[in-house]
Amino acid sequence: MKILICGDVVGKSGRQAIDDHLPELRRNLELDFVIVNGENAAHGFGITDAICEGFYAAGADVITTGNHVWDQREIIGYIDKDPKLLRPINYPTGTPGVGSGIFQAPGGRRVLVIHPMCRLFMDPLDDPFAAVENVLANHRLGRTVDAIVVDVHGEATSEKQSMGHVLDGRVSMVAGTHTHVPTADTQILPGGTAYQTDIGMTGDYDSVIGMKKELASARFVTKMPQGRLEPADGEATLCAVYVETDNASGLAKRVGALRLGGRLKEEWPL
């Protein structure tokens, strides 16, 4: 199976990159399944139902989020109606929405997507490792599902790397999101799980993690309150990771970073 996971979409320029590139990528790479992290898509903060529909129209099968999932209040009433929109799985019991799901891919294949959020330097949610284990207790790669993708949303590289090693051999891919900067450690771990600590953002890289650089930098330089951050609006780089899984085992047989457009050097996984 051929799967693409797109990193955090930031603002209008990031949404435009999805609209411009994802349909063509879906065709040219013959993708079976696409995940888009959309937690910063609504002017840098959260996501709306209209943006979700736009991502689906462009070719996304599932949308993940993160710590900004509730920034747009309207999503609270929408998320229970859309099982393809995932919030972090380790929110407390009773939180609207779900953090994992099994989704159909061509040929009747089943893809399990799990979306934990880390705790180091983040909100103090429930244990993300235990939350993932609870899901995996009922599903086995290559048996009950054909692929398992984990979007681990977190600040600390150590916590995301630990998630990769703990899950090695039991899931197809562990892909990190949240820091908005792509890491160079794309690899297949010893047990056969593809891994990248952070995919990077789909946004304008002439910025501070997707936000206009002048205002964001002033917060550090002056140490004084500034206005609300605004997304940078230059051409975005679409950052993603591509993974091919073995049809029998569901483990990774190929993985590579993908970067397209904008300021970063273009990179293709094939």
Catalytic annotation present for 68? yes
Given a cut of 90, whether residue 227 has pLDDT beyond it is: no
Give 9's contacts (C-beta < 8 A, 6+ positions apart).
15, 17, 18, 36, 37, 38, 40, 41, 55, 201, 202, 203
- What's the mean pLDDT when you consider all of the chain? 97
- What mean pLDDT is predicted for residues 109-117? 98
Contact 20, 28 (CB under 8 A): no
**Which of the residues 21, 68, 153, 178 is marked catalytic?**
68
Read off the pLDDT band of 172 (50, 70, 90).
very high
Q: How far is Cα 17 from Cα 223, in angstroms, rounded to an integer?
A: 33
Please, which residues bridge with residue 37 across strands? Answer: 64
Q: Note the pLDDT of residue 223.
A: 87
Domain of residue 253, CATH code:
3.60.21.10
Task: Please report whether residue 56 resides in a domain.
Answer: yes
Judge whether 178 and 66 are in contact, CB under 8 Å: yes
Kindly state the helix (H) or strand (E) to which residue 153 belongs, with its residue range: strand 147-153
**Is 227 within a domain?**
no
Please state the rounded mean pLDDT for residues 189-196: 98
Helix (H) or strand (E) segment spanning residue 74: helix 74-78
**Which domain, by its residues, includes 97?**
2-202+236-260
The answer to whether position 216 is within a domain reads: no
Q: How far is the C-alpha of 121 from the C-alpha of 117, rounded, in Å?
A: 11
Please report how the helices 11-28 and 49-58 are oriented relative to each other, as an axis angle in degrees rounded to 10: 30
Considering the domain boundaries, does residue 211 fall inside one?
A: no
Burial zone of 78 (CB within 10 Å; 0-12 exposed, 13-18 middle, 19+ buried)? middle
Report the number of distinct structural domains present in the chain.
1
Confidence of residue 226 (pLDDT cuts 50, 70, 90): confident
What is the pLDDT at residue 156? 98
Q: How far apart are CA 157 and CA 179, in angstroms?
A: 9
Radius of gyration of the chain (CA): 17
Predicted local distance difference test score (pLDDT) of residue 270: 83
The reply to whether 182 falls in a domain is: yes
Specify the pLDDT at position 228: 87
What percentage of residues in the chain have a pLDDT greater than 70?
Answer: 100
Mean of pLDDT values over 253-267: 98
Token pair 């951050």: residue: 229
Q: Are 129 and 170 in contact (CB under 8 A)?
A: no
Q: What is the pLDDT of residue 224?
A: 87
Q: Determine the 3-state secondary structure of 33 from DSSP.
A: strand
- H or E stretch including 196? strand 194-196
Average pLDDT over residues 87-104: 97
Residue 99: is its pLDDT beyond 90? yes
In a domain, residue 220? The reply is no
122 occurs within a structural domain: yes
Average pLDDT over residues 194-218: 96
Q: Are 42 and 71 in contact (CB under 8 A)?
A: yes
**Does residue 269 form part of some domain?**
no
